[in-house]
């Protein structure tokens, strides 16, 4: 167990409010950081021995590498701003390769430019990627009658109706799958691609809606990098936020799963595998399945809503090759996506050494890449042993790129129940959960299950939860008390 020193406090001063944060992923860490900035006393409890959750700065063959999330959207401010606030500004790096491919219809084909989650403004952008019939179907779209969207619709259902299934199967599905490991025919357009949802409601034609979105883009903003990484790995963001939390006097306790929560007259009672705690407030930053169990007594309605959030599992196979073996063979670009319809096992490969300058510099003799395996509803692939996942990755990589070399090191990272699914109606579900949670004084929820799975969205939900606690939490209690009383 690891914990930082308790903050120095003048015994005569009134005690600060004490908030317990449950979960040490990026959401819990960001919430703790925000609370401390407002003078709140914080204890963060993490079930495992490692902070960061889905962020994990690891190593392969002595080289730093992300074993979980590896980049963050830079077009949203919250992730980059948090990185800057904890001193990582100089380490933020845009990807060095911005082109990618799609492995479909028997070969690698350039990922088209100028699309919104796979939906083009100009059908010509998909030439080469779609069959002639697929392209012809796309061209019919402006003449089709408007599609009824209602309050929400699955991205795949809507795009297939407007543009034909081929666009969904070859482009929308692998792009959405890259973010959610989900199924395009289930994922909510309102939750997952809100800009498309909004535009589609005001245009009869989807192609026209996307052109409208594209023409409304600020050219300066459009020229800025879409994604940012962190030198050494985006996982370092979690480590840096944790350092900042400790430096501000926050207490971080590892290997301490929370087992139960109860609200009493003197505040929240938090039962753990170690010492019990009391607090004025609680931020629940654990995944939905854990939050559901913990809230079952105090808010059966919130617990029931959280229990309906399904998760997809996946595995990442990270490999280090000798640079001389892989570099001349692998194509340019940051890697490739694989549409499920093409019947391969891997769903994507990221060429880390091409994508991130810091990776190339940190391991000049190596070529690092990773494959990902596993989508919602296709978890049977993950029953295989690690060695089989490596073999199947090598087979697919070889078929796609001609790579025949064996890696010098491999690392399989399994993310069981790693990504929450956002099916049609997700935003209503979240609103119902939040409504139930709002009845619990001093308790808020945050993290990937609510407003977006990406790092900036998780940070935003954490900051919102912290701000609400700061604004509404019960007044400080009269006497200073250490965590654990």
Q: Is 447 in the site for ligand FAD (CB under 6 A)?
A: yes
* Separation CA 269–CA 267 (nearest Å): 7
Q: Is 95 in the site for ligand FAD (CB under 6 A)?
A: no
- The residue within the footprint of ligand FAD, chosen from 16, 314, 330, 412 (CB under 6 A), is 314
- Contact segment (CB under 6 A) with ligand FAD among 69-77, 92-100, 336-344, 437-445 equals 69-77
Lay out the site mask for ligand FAD across 316-335 (x = CB under 6 A, - = otherwise): x-------------------
Q: Is 213 in the site for ligand FAD (CB under 6 A)?
A: no
- The residue within the footprint of ligand FAD, chosen from 116, 455, 465, 469 (CB under 6 A), is 455
Token pair of 331 as six digits: 């194509």
Task: Compute the radius of gyration of the chain from its Cα atoms.
Answer: 23
Q: Is 459 in the site for ligand FAD (CB under 6 A)?
A: no
Q: Is 70 in the site for ligand FAD (CB under 6 A)?
A: yes
| Count of all residues that appear for the chain in the document | 485
Of 68 and 339, the one with the shorter C-beta distance to ligand FAD is: 68
Q: Is 42 in the site for ligand FAD (CB under 6 A)?
A: no
Token pair of 229 as six digits: 């990484």
Q: Is 273 in the site for ligand FAD (CB under 6 A)?
A: no
Q: Is 284 in the site for ligand FAD (CB under 6 A)?
A: no
Query: Measured at the alpha carbon of residue 364, what is the angle toward residues 50 and 68, in degrees to the nearest 5?
Result: 25
* Separation CA 315–CA 2 (nearest Å): 28
Return the C-alpha torsion angle 137, 138, 139, 142, nearest 10.
Answer: 110
Q: Is 48 in the site for ligand FAD (CB under 6 A)?
A: yes
Of 80 and 397, the one with the shorter C-beta distance to ligand FAD is: 80
Residue given tokens 């880390």 in the structure block: 352
Of 129 and 458, the one with the shorter C-beta distance to ligand FAD is: 458
Token pair of 139 as six digits: 């061209």
Q: Is 442 in the site for ligand FAD (CB under 6 A)?
A: no
With beta carbons less than 8 A apart as the criterion, state whether 102 and 109 touch.
yes
Q: Is 182 in the site for ligand FAD (CB under 6 A)?
A: no
- The residue within the footprint of ligand FAD, chosen from 172, 244, 290, 302 (CB under 6 A), is 290
Q: Is 32 in the site for ligand FAD (CB under 6 A)?
A: no
Residue given tokens 């001389």 in the structure block: 324
- The residue within the footprint of ligand FAD, chosen from 258, 330, 369, 445 (CB under 6 A), is 258
CB atoms within 10 A of CB 455: 29
Q: Is 121 in the site for ligand FAD (CB under 6 A)?
A: no
Of 27 and 320, the one with the shorter C-beta distance to ligand FAD is: 27
State the nearest-atom distance from the C-beta of 315 to ligand FAD, in Å.
8
- Contact segment (CB under 6 A) with ligand FAD among 8-16, 95-103, 374-382, 454-462 equals 454-462
- The residue within the footprint of ligand FAD, chosen from 17, 33, 41, 54 (CB under 6 A), is 54
- The residue within the footprint of ligand FAD, chosen from 16, 19, 26, 129 (CB under 6 A), is 26
Q: Is 27 in the site for ligand FAD (CB under 6 A)?
A: yes
With beta carbons less than 8 A apart as the criterion, state whether 244 and 95 touch.
no
State the nearest-atom distance from the C-beta of 138 to ligand FAD, in Å.
29
Of 100 and 199, the one with the shorter C-beta distance to ligand FAD is: 100
State the nearest-atom distance from the C-beta of 162 to ligand FAD, in Å.
28
* Site for ligand FAD, residues 411 to 430, rule: CB under 6 A: 415, 418-419
* Site for ligand FAD, residues 228 to 257, rule: CB under 6 A: 257
- The residue within the footprint of ligand FAD, chosen from 123, 164, 174, 287 (CB under 6 A), is 287
Of 321 and 415, the one with the shorter C-beta distance to ligand FAD is: 415
CA nearest 277: which of 32, 73, 43, 2?
A: 43
Of 261 and 424, the one with the shorter C-beta distance to ligand FAD is: 261
Q: Is 374 in the site for ligand FAD (CB under 6 A)?
A: no
Of 179 and 405, the one with the shorter C-beta distance to ligand FAD is: 179
Q: Is 337 in the site for ligand FAD (CB under 6 A)?
A: no
Which residues in this chain contact ligand FAD in the complex, by CB under 6 A?
A: 22-28, 45-48, 53-55, 68-72, 257-258, 285-287, 290, 314, 316, 415, 418-419, 447-448, 453-455, 458
């Amino acid at each position: 167990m690891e914990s930082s020193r308790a903050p120095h406090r003048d015994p005569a001063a009134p005690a600060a409010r004490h908030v317990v944060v449950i979960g040490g992923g990026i959401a819990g860490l960001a919430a703790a950081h925000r609370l401390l900035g407002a003078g709140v006393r914080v204890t963060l409890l993490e079930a495992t021995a490692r902070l960061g959750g889905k962020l994990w700065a690891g190593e392969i063959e002595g080289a730093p590498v992300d074993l979980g999330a590896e980049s963050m959207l830079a077009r949203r401010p919250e992730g980059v701003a948090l990185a800057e606030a904890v001193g990582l500004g100089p380490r933020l790096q845009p990807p060095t390769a911005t082109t990618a491919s799609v492995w479909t219809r028997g070969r690698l084909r350039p990922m088209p430019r100028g699309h919104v989650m796979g939906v083009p403004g100009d059908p010509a952008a998909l030439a080469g990627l779609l069959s002639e019939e697929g392209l012809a179907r796309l061209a019919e779209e402006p003449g089709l009658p408007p599609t009824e969207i209602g309050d929400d619709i699955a991205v795949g259902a809507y795009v297939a109706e407007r543009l034909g299934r081929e666009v969904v199967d070859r482009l929308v599905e692998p792009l959405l799958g890259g973010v959610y490991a989900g199924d395009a025919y289930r994922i909510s357009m309102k939750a997952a691609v809100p800009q498309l949802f909004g535009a589609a409601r005001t245009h009869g034609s989807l192609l026209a809606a996307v052109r409208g979105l594209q023409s409304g883009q600020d050219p300066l903003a459009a020229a800025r990098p879409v994604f940012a990484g962190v030198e050494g790995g985006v996982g370092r963001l979690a480590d840096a936020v944790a350092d900042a939390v400790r430096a501000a006097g926050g207490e971080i306790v590892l290997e301490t799963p929370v087992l139960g929560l109860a609200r009493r007259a003197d505040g929240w009672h938090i039962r753990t595998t170690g010492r019990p705690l009391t607090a004025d407030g609680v931020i629940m930053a654990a995944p939905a399945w854990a939050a559901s169990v913990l809230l079952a007594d105090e808010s059966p309605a919130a617990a029931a809503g959280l229990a309906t959030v399904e998760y997809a599992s996946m595995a990442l196979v990270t490999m280090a090759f000798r640079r001389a073996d892989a570099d001349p063979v692998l194509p340019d670009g940051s890697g490739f996506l694989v549409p499920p319809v093409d019947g391969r096992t891997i769903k994507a490969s990221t060429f880390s050494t091409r994508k991130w300058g810091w990776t190339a510099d940190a391991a000049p003799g190596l070529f690092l890449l990773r494959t990902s395996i596993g989508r919602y509803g296709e978890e049977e692939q993950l029953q295989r042993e690690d060695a089989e996942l490596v073999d199947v990755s090598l087979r697919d990589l070889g078929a796609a790129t001609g790579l025949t070399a064996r890696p010098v090191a491999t690392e399989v990272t399994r993310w069981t129940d790693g990504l929450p699914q956002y099916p049609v109606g997700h935003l209503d579900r979240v609103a119902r959960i939040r409504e139930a949670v709002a009845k619990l004084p001093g308790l808020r929820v945050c993290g990937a299950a609510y407003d977006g799975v990406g790092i900036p969205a998780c940070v935003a939900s954490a900051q919102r939860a912290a701000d609400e606690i700061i604004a509404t939490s019960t007044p400080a209690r009269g006497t200073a008390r250490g965590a654990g009383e």
